[in-house]
Amino acid sequence: MMGTGTGTCVSPSASGARCSMRRSGDSGGGSGAETMNGRGARDVIAGALVAALRAADPGAAVRRSWPAEDLGGREVTLLATGKASAAMTRAAIAMGARIARGVVTCVPGHAELLRADLERAGLGSVIRVYEADHPFATERNIESAQAVAEFARLAGEGEVVLGLVSGGASAHLASPAGDLTLADVRAIAGALLRSGATIREINTVRRRLETLKGGGLAALCDPARVVVLVVSDVLGDDLSAIGSGPFARDATTFGDALGVLERHRLEGVSEGVTRFLRAGNGRTGDSPARVAPEVRHVVIANNAMAVEAAAAALEVRGWRVAERRVGVEGEAKEVANHLCARVRTLGRGDALVWGGEPTVTVGDADGVGGRNQEVAFVASMALDGENGVAVASLGTDGIDGPTDAAGGVVDGATASKMRARGIDLHGALERHDSYTALTAAGALLITGPTGTNVNDVIVGLRF
């Protein structure tokens, strides 16, 4: 179940993003814009966001996209990694995959349940399950990555490798190259996240620093045939960026990675990383075509699907969706202000649904929050005192920044509630302390980890 700060919050099932959202005392049912109030608008938004999460359910996505012809009834080596790996693995088993061997890296808390399910299916000794951390790799990520590499090497001529890849795979497959250490990789990853770098920029650097990224895992599968089902957490579905492209060709170079560090002034974060990139810059084989010759990727869930599902849910309830957009990026503050300006132009009974992934340049700020919470918080300030408007921003993985919230939902009365509880709005924004501010107003969205990730969904209503 999904809830707001004043509602009931229950984590969704680990087997997928089967969520609902209901505030305390809500009797359900639809509401027209003519009789809408702030609470009713928030409930309408909640229904749209639930629909988005269901569209991103990784288990359902595997089932509807099952590559029966590619597998041809043959035994497969299963390599599953990322936040959705447990749900995707369960679905693959349910679809009758003949798994000869396999390894799954999954988020903490999912491993025990998955192992129990595998035992019941008679696959406990066939598929190894490892816990791996996100967003920053730990020693157990190194261990899980080594296991994945070991199993990839076992695939032989005429065999099929079934890859199940989702957001989080980049951290799960931690495999520092050369003389780089885990500390080097963690330091640069943390600095990039704090800098406001995009996921494409972050993974451009990661692919050069680690051996299983940028097609490195596919190379280990050679000469087997590889089929990869992908839950995309990258706008535009760039296969080399999703999970840093373990099975995808990499068109970027050491020079590109250096360029990312230079743009964000991060060359001094790790001497080891900068030295490694400079040593590789311009050399022959800078970005080797190391992918096995037969690799087929199928994107089975993405942000566009989630946006379309949210829009359809609104239309079923009688709202006119005036705008659907995907690819929304930029600083969360700018996205929020543009969002509010656009919502003000809507007619009564109109809605908009955006998909994307804003960023927050944190710098040295010490507040608590995430990009979706910051979008909602800034929107609450922009809409302060206005009637008939409501907006929400949700991270589909259910984890927005280092918090227990997935995002926030606000209207024209939210900012006054914050002030009434002693929140200095501009001070909180300067500290990027959106979590504290939204908590004070009961405006958080909480789902718990959803087991999927297809970026963010933003909804705005005029009522």
Residue 135: is the preceding peptide bond cis (ω within 30°)? yes
Residue 340's domain is classified under what CATH number? 3.40.1480.10
Which of 258, 281, 301 marks a domain boundary?
301
Please indicate, yes or no, whether residues 131 and 42 belong to a single structural domain of this protein.
no
Give the pLDDT score at 38: 76
Which of 286, 301, 316 marks a domain boundary?
301
Give the pLDDT score at 193: 87
Please indicate, yes or no, whether residues 318 and 248 belong to a single structural domain of this protein.
no
Please indicate, yes or no, whether residues 68 and 102 belong to a single structural domain of this protein.
yes
Residue 112's domain is classified under what CATH number? 3.40.50.10180
Give the pLDDT score at 449: 86
Please indicate, yes or no, whether residues 148 and 178 belong to a single structural domain of this protein.
yes
Cα 298–Cα 301–Cα 304 angle in degrees, nearest 5? 115
Cα 201 to Cα 72, 236, 359, distances in angstroms: 37, 14, 12
Please indicate, yes or no, whether residues 191 and 308 belong to a single structural domain of this protein.
no
Mean pLDDT by 10 residues, the chain (463 residues): 43 37 36 66 96 98 96 95 96 97 94 97 98 93 98 94 96 96 95 89 93 95 96 95 93 94 95 94 62 85 98 98 97 98 98 97 93 99 98 96 97 98 98 98 95 96 97
Please indicate, yes or no, whether residues 261 and 393 belong to a single structural domain of this protein.
no
Please indicate, yes or no, whether residues 238 and 329 belong to a single structural domain of this protein.
no
Give the pLDDT score at 344: 97
Give the pLDDT score at 199: 85
Please indicate, yes or no, whether residues 169 and 293 belong to a single structural domain of this protein.
yes
Question: Which tens digits make up the pLDDT trace of 198-231?
Answer: 888 998 999 999 999 999 999 999 999 999 999 9
Which of 301, 336, 356 marks a domain boundary?
301
Of all helices (H) and strands (E), which one includes residue 410? strand 407-411
Count up the domains in the chain and report the number. Answer: 2
Please indicate, yes or no, whether residues 307 and 253 belong to a single structural domain of this protein.
no
Cα 84 to Cα 76, 91, 239, 397, 403, distances in angstroms: 19, 11, 16, 9, 19
Please indicate, yes or no, whether residues 133 and 163 belong to a single structural domain of this protein.
yes
Task: Give dist(CA 188, CA 18) in Å, integer.
Answer: 35
Give the pLDDT score at 37: 75
Give the pLDDT score at 30: 43
Domain extent, residue 93, equals 58-301
Please indicate, yes or no, whether residues 325 and 413 belong to a single structural domain of this protein.
yes
Please indicate, yes or no, whether residues 187 and 241 belong to a single structural domain of this protein.
yes
